[in-house]
Structure 1
Amino acid sequence: MQLAKGDGPVVLAFPTPIYRHHWPASGDLNEALKTLILARRAASPSTARSNVGGWQSGHDLMSWGDPRLAELGQCINEAFGAAMEAEIGTRAFTCKLAITAWANVNGSGDYNRHHTHANNHWSGVYYVDLGQPDPGVIPNGAIEFLDPRPAVGVYDLPGVQSVSTWTIQPVAGEMLLFPSWLRHGVLPFRGSGERISIAFNLRVGDLRLQAGSS
Structure 2
Amino acid sequence: MTTTEPAVRQPTRQVMMNWRTPVYSKDHPDADEHNKILRELILAAEKEDDAAANFGGIDAIKSSEDILLWDHPSIDWVKSLIMEAVNELTIAVLGDAAKEVTPKILAEGWAVVYRSGGSLRPHSHHDCNWSGVYYVDNPTPVGAEGDAGYLQLLDPRPSAVSRQASPGPVRFEPVPGRIVAFPGWLTHQVRSTATGSGLRICIAWNVAYDKAFTRVGTPAGGTL
Equivalent positions of 1:60-75 (< 5 A) are: 60-75=66-81
User: Does the residue aligned with 1:188 lie in a helix, a strand or coil?
Assistant: coil
Q: TM-score, normalised by structure 2?
A: 0.80
The corresponding residue for 1:196 is: 201
Give the count of matched residue pairs.
197
- The structure whose residues are more often helix, as a share, is 2
Structure 1 residues 107 and 8 mapped into 2: Cα distance closer, same or farther (>3 Å)? Answer: farther
The corresponding residue for 1:125 is: 133
**Is contact 2:149-2:193 (8 Å) kept?**
yes
Separation (CA, whole Å) in 2 of partners of 1:108 and 1:8: 53
Q: TM-score, normalised by structure 1?
A: 0.83
User: Does the residue aligned with 2:135 lie in a helix, a strand or coil?
Assistant: strand
User: Does the residue aligned with 1:15 lie in a helix, a strand or coil?
Assistant: coil
The corresponding residue for 2:185 is: 181
The corresponding residue for 2:9 is: none
Which amino acid is the alignment partner of residue 76 of structure 2? A
Separation (CA, whole Å) in 2 of partners of 1:51 and 1:154: 25
Is 1:47 the counterpart of 2:47? The answer is no
The corresponding residue for 1:99 is: 107
User: Does the residue aligned with 1:139 lie in a helix, a strand or coil?
Assistant: coil
User: Does the residue aligned with 2:103 lie in a helix, a strand or coil?
Assistant: strand
Cα distance, 1:62 vs structure 2 = 1.1
% identity of equivalent residues: 32
Cα distance, 1:118 vs structure 2 = 2.0
The corresponding residue for 1:3 is: none
Return the match for 2:17 from 12, 20, 26: 12
Is 1:112 the counterpart of 2:120? The answer is yes
User: Does the residue aligned with 1:35 lie in a helix, a strand or coil?
Assistant: helix
The corresponding residue for 2:83 is: 77
- Ranges in structure 1 where 5+ consecutive residues have no aligned partner: 1-6, 208-214
Separation (CA, whole Å) in 2 of partners of 1:9 and 1:50: 44
The corresponding residue for 2:210 is: 205
RMSD: 2.3
**Is contact 2:155-2:166 (8 Å) kept?**
no
Deviates more, 1:58-67 or 1:28-37: 58-67
